[in-house]
Amino acid sequence: MMGRFALLLLLAFASLQLFCFAVDDIDIDFDINKNDDLVFYESFDEPFEDRWIVSNKDDYKGVWKHSKSEGHDDYGLLVSEKARKYAIVKQFDEAASLKDGTTVLQFETRLQSGLECGGAYLKYLRPQEAGWRPKEFDNDSPYSIMFGPDRCGTTNKVHFIFKHKNPKNGEYVEHHLKHTPAVPSDKLTHVYTATLKRDKEVRIMIDGQEKKKASFLSANDFDPPLIPPKTIPDPDDKKPEGWDDRARIPDPNAVKPDVWDDDAPMEIEDLEAVKPEGWLDDEPDEIDDPEATKPEDWDDEEDGVWEPPKMFNPKCETAPGCGEWKRPMKSNPAYKGKWSPPLIDNPNYKGIWKAREIPNPNYFEIGKPDFEPIAGIGIEIWTMQEGILFDNILIAKSENVAKSYRETKWKPKFEVEKERYKAEDEASASDFLAAAIKRKLFDFLYEVADMPFLSNYKTQILYQIERAEKQPNLTMGVLVSIVVIILTIFLKHIFGGKDQVQPSPKVEQKPYVAETTNDEARSGGDEKEEGDESGGAPRRRRRET
């Protein structure tokens, strides 16, 4: 009897376990596909044309495509052309309310060609009664929330903007989240999540990691604040006549000194400079390459008259300089600039005038934001990059639903992409290291060229360094030549005694004049190198790094 009871108990326990597993399976399937908390979901597994409406507005010429994400079989909505404006809308059958409980806005983007200047955000649109039509969707179409990445110039942020109606005057005001997170700079798929909670806060996540939390009612979190100030400056208040708000004024009793010359130039010729001995006035810095030949396929009528490329004049290698010699410029000791009287405290100063404060007629108090419902999703962007892919756009009433989509839809793709790019980065690491070493070597050679004992040969050394930088196929050979030249000059400097050539005055060489910046010209021209009393060779060119 006891044995049969034990057997029945064991069977009952096993049945309960099987029932629990079955329930778990049902729950998982329910959460992802049949959950009432899922308001909207777009996977783009199928072509979008029968569900999304492309704007007919003339400005929006960008072509949307149904395309696979690079390296995956997963499809998305693709921005296919660069330097275009794009606009497309998905209209809901029924508007989604944002007023009850939690609302999660989530979508994926992949910047397959990077993002230097452009947006990749979504607009959650108000009902059409607000005054818009899908075929006419554009930048002015009214939205409730705008959310997503944007980068151009100094802008690098994940926007969160909501429009809120002022109950006093009926005007809609854009409220921008402050101190937003930056956009990831790689080319991987990223998932952006904004969770709106009815306890007055919004949470921004990137790839499931919280990046920002803010209160809708905090003046520190949104610009302008949701709740207006209680008082404002009176627009009818005017500054009284005679109000002097200048804290300091020019001294009316000051007189310009007699010796002050407003027209004195900032720089003058150095009349003490002497042309170095051996200067080759009739030799140009560069000559036609005698070994260059006209290409066989060159057509003078189509390509113009062929001219051989230039090369450094070998006669200038041992000379202190070539071409027309000009005296270098030096700072003018008489230069003082335009005279102006000194400032003194203003005896009539009354302080900075401000209009009086009055009660703000548009002030209101509110316990939580009154969001407009969402009647559709629009993508309206201008971008200089192609290759932006949108995928897995979701609106849900549960954070768990959004999390389940991140885990099942986004994360597997992200892990594959991360591993692939990691392998590519490791493969290119050796090339990057070689480039870094080469840059360090060039920087060192430029510093060596500035040494005083090389002043007579600085022009030639700089020419060879820049030649090595611009012609990678010749880099190693040229670098070896430079090292040999510097070593030879160094040994001559050490063992040459008094017979070595004295440093020559600094002069302006023609190859470098065009690359002198305006700032350099305003700062007093070519300054003397340390230890170079007479001027020496021209300052080296600025190099692009």
State yes or no: pLDDT of 399 exceeds 90: yes
pLDDT digits (tens, 9 = 90+) for 118-169: 899 999 999 988 788 999 999 999 999 999 999 998 899 999 999 999 999 9
State yes or no: pLDDT of 57 exceeds 70: yes
Residue-wise over 58-97: b if at least 16 C-beta within 10 A, else e? eebebebeebebeebebbbbbbebeebbbbbbbbbeebbe
Percent of the chain residues topping a pLDDT of 70: 78
Average pLDDT, the chain: 82
State yes or no: pLDDT of 38 exceeds 90: yes
Q: Mean pLDDT across the stretch 416-431?
A: 74
With beta carbons less than 8 A apart as the criterion, state whether 144 and 128 touch.
Answer: no
Residues 6+ apart with CB under 8 A from 66: 44, 47, 48, 49, 75, 77, 78
Tell if the pTM clears 0.75, that is, is over it.
Answer: no
Comparing 83-87, 229-233, 251-255, 483-487, the range with the smallest average pLDDT is 483-487
State yes or no: pLDDT of 270 exceeds 90: yes
At residue 99, the pLDDT reads 83
At residue 5, the pLDDT reads 41
Residues 6+ apart with CB under 8 A from 97: 373
State yes or no: pLDDT of 242 exceeds 60: yes
